[in-house]
Amino acid sequence: MIEAKLSKNYTSQIIENIKIWKNDSLFSIKTTKDASYNFQPGQFARLGLINQNNNTLIWRAYSIVSAPHEDFLEFYYTIINKGEFSKILLNLKENDNIFIEKSIWVLNDKSICWTKYKEKNNKLWLIATGTGLSAYISILRDHKTWKYFDKIFLIHSTKFLDELSYKKELEILSKTNKRFKYLPVTTREKSSTISETRITSLVMSGNLETLTKEKLDPESSKIMLCGNPTMVLEMRKILYDRGFYTSKQHITGNLAMERYWI
Ligand SMILES: Cc1cc2nc3c(=O)[nH]c(=O)nc-3n(C[C@H](O)[C@H](O)[C@H](O)COP(=O)(O)OP(=O)(O)OC[C@H]3O[C@@H](n4cnc5c(N)ncnc54)[C@H](O)[C@@H]3O)c2cc1C
């Protein structure tokens, strides 16, 4: 009944694959996708699941991991202890149904029109904590991204090394595409390559620029921040002080942000 009522605004898809990145904690799903379902990399959709206890539909926002050209939809998620939606996510099985909103949302101009950045010598810095990585995978998989930027750097911070999901895919991309560099940062475990344990200190120490051999300058850089609100707000302050700015009515910014919670 719920399905029939909502079919105008939502599509019902089948979960074809569930990948466990970390037991009981980090997962990704691949679902079927309607041919008419369009989106831009960097966008998110609300997912809907039925709480069997009271037969209600619950909705939560999730960034789309898959690229627009892929014939499936992919989402990457963490299980929140005592989270209402997480409880249902944890019990998902392959071939289960999931509702996916038809209207796609863009928060804080994360999908700014990038044509402005087609000029040469442009750098894209993708900075994420935890599952904030999701949208960046879509951006990196999308062929168009590589027309707009000369170089792309991905800085992904997690607590532990085994939470660096998609690492293999990103390392392969790093090896095969000289224009891309992957910089994982772990806050509670020592990484073999990067001494800093926080994104903010990596930037403040100047080590980010040393490791990438590139300047984090507002003239030729565009930065995206995604994930933990504390990281996003701290980085915003650091970047504002360096001359970065978010989009205003008629001005396209060079800094875009998405906080996964408040
Ligand atoms: C635009 C947008 C895009 C999002 N994309 C993703 C995504 O791709 N993957 C994903 O896992 N989540 C994503 N989220 C967050 C996702 O919507 C929440 O994980 C979801 O609300 C969890 O629902 P819940 O009912 O289980 O827990 P809730 O009761 O809604 O959350 C409880 C608490 O858990 C913490 N929390 C919430 N989300 C996270 C998180 N992702 N990581 C760590 N702590 C968190 C917060 O402190 C929050 O107050 C996104 C949120 C927004 C706003």
Quote ipTM for the complex. 0.95
CATH class as words, domain 2-101? mainly beta
Q: Which residues contact 129 (CB under 8 A, 6 or more apart)?
A: 156, 157, 158, 199, 226, 227, 228, 231
Q: Alpha carbon 224 to chain centroid distance? A: 10
Cα angle: 84, vertex 88, 89; to 5 degrees: 110
pLDDT in tens, 206-247: 999 999 999 999 999 999 999 999 999 999 999 999 999 988
Distance from the alpha carbon of residue 132 to the mean position of ligand 1, in angstroms: 10
pLDDT for res 196? 74
Q: Does the beta carbon of 85 sit less than 6 angstroms from any atom of ligand 1?
A: yes
Question: What atom in ligand 1 is closest to the CA of residue 86?
Answer: 26
Neighbour-count burial of 68, counting CB atoms closer than 10 A to its CB (0-12 exposed, 13-18 middle, 19+ buried):
middle
Determine the topology of domain 114-259 in CATH: Rossmann fold (3.40.50)
Minimum CA distance residue for ligand 1 atom 20: 60
Question: What atom in ligand 1 is closest to the CA of residue 65?
Answer: 8
Neighbours of 179 (CB within 10 A): 14
Q: Does the beta carbon of 213 sit less than 6 angstroms from any atom of ligand 1?
A: no
Q: Does the beta carbon of 28 sit less than 6 angstroms from any atom of ligand 1?
A: no
Taking 70 as the threshold, does the pLDDT of residue 112 lie above it? no
Distance from the alpha carbon of residue 260 to the mean position of ligand 1, in angstroms: 6
Strands (E) in 70-227, as ranges, are 73-78, 97-101, 123-129, 151-158, 180-186, 221-227
Taking 90 as the threshold, does the pLDDT of residue 20 lie above it? yes
Q: Where are the domains of the chain?
A: 2-101, 114-259
- Give alpha helix (H) positions in the chain: 2-6, 84-90, 134-141, 145-148, 167-176, 199-204, 207-212, 229-241
Distance from the alpha carbon of residue 49 to the mean position of ligand 1, in angstroms: 15
Mean pLDDT of 118-136: 87
In sign, the C-alpha dihedral spanning 245, 109, 69, 45 is positive
Question: What atom in ligand 1 is closest to the CA of residue 84?
Answer: 25
Question: What atom in ligand 1 is closest to the CA of residue 262?
Answer: 49
